[in-house]
Amino acid sequence: MDRSRQGQQYAVGSPSRDNTTNKEIEMGVLTTEILDTFNGLLAEAQASADREPTAMTVATVGTGHGPSARTVLLKGLDERGFVFYTNFDSCKGRQLAGNPQAALLFHWKLIREGVQVRIEGNVESVTAAEADAYFASRPRPSQIGAWASLQSQTLSSREEFERRIDEVEKHYADLPVPRPPHWSGFRVVPELVEFWYGARYRLHERHCYERVDGQWQQRMLYP
């Protein structure tokens, strides 16, 4: 059984794998097939009891070649790639500035027999307009926090942080909170996307899409 077709009702306009054309495989940064498959799985996760279906692990590597990983939320996805937002002075922000490559991992344990989506790619900054639009959509306390937090720096006490929050709230009292210059977004532009479908007895199913010379190639992998 092709497990990638289960739950396809969530993927609007998802093309049949058997009818995928070379043109579809080669178009854009992300193909229609990859996007529809991912969006269908995400919709299943959102309909499940998963409290954070957009949560993903982001792995980066610093200048000393040591890896780091943390969980963030997916905030945008289109044919260009996967977007998340952060403080550029954070550990991940500094690492991505020095080594703009990342790996993402979604793990949805509550759908089917478990599903993972693994992404590898180069990283670029989103535009100022994109970052401004998303920041404006955030709750005001989150906007205040983006100014008050000296992310990843040493904090002497919780009271110190709360004091900084109060100072920012007073500074922007009755005013819109602008986006801090150190706060923006990253887009992971995929070079590899793998869909992993769990199965009994560890007889899993893996579908891998990889860009080779600018064109997407699809293959199955042994579990």
Q: Where do the DSSP E strands lie in 20-144?
A: 55-61, 67-73, 76-78, 81-87, 101-108, 115-125
Pick from 97, 123, 98, 122: which is nearest to 182 by CA? 97
Rounded Cα distance between 130 and 142, Å, is 17
Q: Is 202 a catalytic residue?
A: yes
Rounded Cα distance between 10 and 44, Å, is 7
- Residue count (the chain): 223
Within 10 angstroms of residue 63's Cβ, the number of other Cβ atoms is: 10
Pick the catalytic residue from 51, 158, 200, 202.
202
What residues are labeled active site? 202
